[in-house]
Structures are given as C-alpha cells and as structure tokens.
Structure 1
Amino acid sequence: MDYVCEWCYLGYGILKDLRKAYDFDLELYPIEIHPDIPENGMPMIWHVHNKKKWTDQLNQLGEPYGIHFINKETFSNTKNALILGQYAKTTGKMSDYTDCLWDSYMVKGMNISDKTAIYSIGHNAGFSDEQMNTAFEDPIYYAALERNQQYQHSFGTDQVPAFVINEKYIMIGAQSKDTWEQLFQKIKEEQS
C-alpha cells in the first residue's frame, strides 16, 4: 500500500470495518508506487483531471463504511511517509500511524510530501523527534521498502492495493464488503 493511493485507503477502511464481525490480522507493507512524483508533490490536477468528479465518486464508494475523501490540492510524494510507516511497523504503531497519516492526507488534504507535516503526523502517532530522525537516517527502512515491493511481486502483481490472504489468495483493488465476506466464507468452509 501507498499513502497516496485512494484505493488503498478505501480497501483499508473496508477491512477495518469488517474486523467488527471477523477475526483476522491485517499487516501493511508500505510500497512507493509513484517514485516519479517531485519531492514536494505536484498539483492534483496533473494526476486527476476532474478532481471534483473523482472525489465525489470516491466518497460515494466510501460512504457505506464511513470513509471520507477531501478534494485534495496536492498529489504528494510519499517517500518520507512510507519510511516512517516502515519504522512504525517495527514499533507496533503501524495502525496508529497509518490512521493519523490517512486522516491528514485523505480527509484533511495535508501535503504529506512536506517533512514538517510528516513530523506532525508522527507526533500524533506517538513518536518523538529522535525516533523519527533515527528512522530517516537508518538505511534499513529504505531497504525494507525494497523488500516489500519484492514480496508483492512474488505474488505476481505490482498493483495496489494487493491483499494477500493466508499466502494463498490475492485480492486486487478495494473490494466490496460482500466480496470479502464471500472469501471469508470460502476460507471457513475449507478449514472445516
């Protein structure tokens, strides 16, 4: 998943909603899908030509799950956000950080290309400046992003979101609640 990906945010939200009824673990693997985005981001209009229509469609899809999108001005570079996300994963705060980050970007429209914004989001997720500095300085987190991409490719896809279930099934895209429930039922039947 990449924090710039609306479909990842939608898929994540649908799965979080499903956790109310189903018991499963959700592990996120940060992947940079648009390394070509300039360091400071770019105008959203360069990525999506009719922003309002795009945002309205996303909000219509997200409404049943309480997921909201703002009509963003910036299509952000997510390198720093993903590095800190990978660090958050190693500290057990991935879910908190991801929730804070997506709220800041998808709901409030914050430019997460800005490292100051990332530090603010990191503080909200419970990280100190020292912890975040460590994450940005340690090459292990950059290498982990590469491994995440290789892991995804091992399942024969480079699309996001890509959900791997029990190392057996793969779901591409933000699938509906009904589609997930059908898969969960199939897995339950297989385990019986």
Structure 2
Amino acid sequence: MNASNPIKVDVWSDIACPWCFIGKRKFEAAAAGFEGEVEVEYHSFELSPDTPVDFEGNEVEFLATHKGIAPEQAKSMLDNVIGIASSVGLSYDFDAMHHTNTVKAHQLLHYAKAHGIQLPMTERLLSAYFEQGRHLGRLDVLADIAAEIGLDRDDVVRSLEADEYLSDVRADQAQAVEYGINGVPFFVFEGKYGVSGAQDPTVFRNVLDTVAAELAGEPADQADPSEEAVTR
C-alpha cells in the first residue's frame, strides 16, 4: 500500500473503559505487523455520563450497582479483566482506581488533538486511570498530565474550565449514535468496516488487509471480514 495513503481508523472509546485499553493494545499488535500505514483518531464516548466526579465507593461497588449484581460477582469480573489486561502487558489496579466522570478527560483529548498529540495523551490517560490510580475527574490532575507531555498547563486549565472542547465531545457522541455504536471500544476502518470490542489482533489484521486491498483495487488475500465482531 502506498505510504501516502494510510488507512484511517476512527476509534470510539472511554477513558473509564477497561476493555478500551486492552483493545488499544490488541489493535496496536495488529497494526505493528501490517505492511501499510495506519492513521488513528480517537473519539469520545461516555459509558456512564451520570457518574459523579467524586464517586463514593470502590470499583467493585460501582460495578455491582451499575450492573445490578452481587459484589462477589463484580469482584470476580474485575479479577478476570485484570488477567486479560496482564496478557497484553497492562497492570490494572482497581483497588487504587478513582472512578469518576470522564467528560473533562475527553475534552483534554480534544485539546491534545488540536496540538497534534492526541495519541500520546490517550495512552497517558488510560494508564493514569487504570494503572496509576490518578483522579482524572480533577482539573489539576488532568493539567499535570498534560504538562508531563509538553502542553501548557495554564492553558489546559483555561480550556477545561471554559469547556472549550465540550462541543467536540458532544459531536463525537452524536456521530456514535448515527453509526449505531452502543458500546466501546468500537473501531471504524475507512468509514466502511466497524469492529466492536477488544478483538483478537487477527481480527483487526484481517480488516486492515481487506481494506488495503480494496483501496489498491486488488482482491483481498484474507477472507472477507464478515466475523460477528465486524459490521459494514
């Protein structure tokens, strides 16, 4: 595939979604072995927009309440997620996590995109939330993280306090509704193929190969991506 024509992949995700970080790693594994170039852009999706900034309780309590299940079942589910995260090199720490509202974090992602560093910011925020126990509902914490990757801390505070990129967050969410996205992560390849969930890297790789062949006007070597996870 011509290097001047990367495959565009739009990803809807939420900072508070454990599967989004896992899916990011699995997609990256697929892209690493792909011969062509891939351009990735992240889009905002709030799984639980009514969550308060300072949620009173731990992740087990949140999950049990949110899904209407027993705490023991919630703990078992989280333990399973920890194991899957570990298999892709992530170290989740649900005991240290501060469950919070993510709308300000999403605004920061748009701020970072405007400054050309959305991908590093996405990585930093997901790691800060799931691995480092940082409170991403607080402006001072978000501003600190922004400064750590070279952004102007004072300007980030100004932007977040003014809700400068809130309309961009809402636009992403509106686009998700148009696409029929009701869960994340959700990957859209060249506006044509959608992959739902933290799929195996082979699923992502098959779609990349198929799209690359289509863009080049050639028959795809891989099977048509018609798995249950993939939609047109």
How big is the shift at 1:144? 0.5
Change (3 A) 1:55 1:183: same
Change (3 A) 1:41 1:123: farther
Aligned residue in 2 for 1:47: 62
- Aligned mate of 2:52, from 38, 46, 65: 38
Change (3 A) 1:19 1:42: farther
How big is the shift at 1:140? 4.0
Aligned residue in 2 for 1:106: 130
What 5-or-longer segments of structure 1 have no aligned partner?
A: none
Deviates more, 1:131-140 or 1:97-106: 131-140
What 5-or-longer segments of structure 2 have no aligned partner?
A: 1-12, 64-70, 219-232
Q: Is 1:5–2:29 an aligned residue pair?
A: no
Deviates more, 1:149-158 or 1:66-75: 66-75
- Which structure has more helix as a fraction of its residues? 1
- 1:46 and 1:56 map into 2 onto residues whose CA distance is 14
- 1:92 and 1:150 map into 2 onto residues whose CA distance is 23
How big is the shift at 1:29? 0.7
Q: Considering only CA atoms, is the larger Rg found in Structure 1 or Structure 2?
A: 2
- 1:75 and 1:138 map into 2 onto residues whose CA distance is 23
Change (3 A) 1:52 1:123: farther
Change (3 A) 1:5 1:42: farther
SS of structure 2 residue aligned to 1:25:
strand
Deviates more, 1:122-131 or 1:55-64: 55-64
- 1:153 and 1:164 map into 2 onto residues whose CA distance is 14
Deviates more, 1:165-174 or 1:68-77: 68-77
Deviation track 1:81-124 (CA, whole Å, cap 9, x = no partner) reads 11111111111111121121111111112221222221221111
Q: Is 1:170–2:194 an aligned residue pair?
A: yes
Same amino acid, percent of matched pairs: 21
- Which structure has more strand as a fraction of its residues? 2
Q: Is 1:90–2:102 an aligned residue pair?
A: no
SS of structure 2 residue aligned to 1:27:
strand
| Contact 2:100 2:137 survives alignment (8 Å) | yes
| Contact 1:41 1:111 survives alignment (8 Å) | no
Amino acid at match of 2:40: L
Amino acid at match of 2:182: D
| Contact 1:163 1:171 survives alignment (8 Å) | yes
Aligned residue in 2 for 1:70: 93
- Per the normalisation by structure 2, the TM-score is 0.75
- 2:126 and 2:54 map into 1 onto residues whose CA distance is 18
Query: RMSD of the TM alignment (CA)?
Result: 2.0
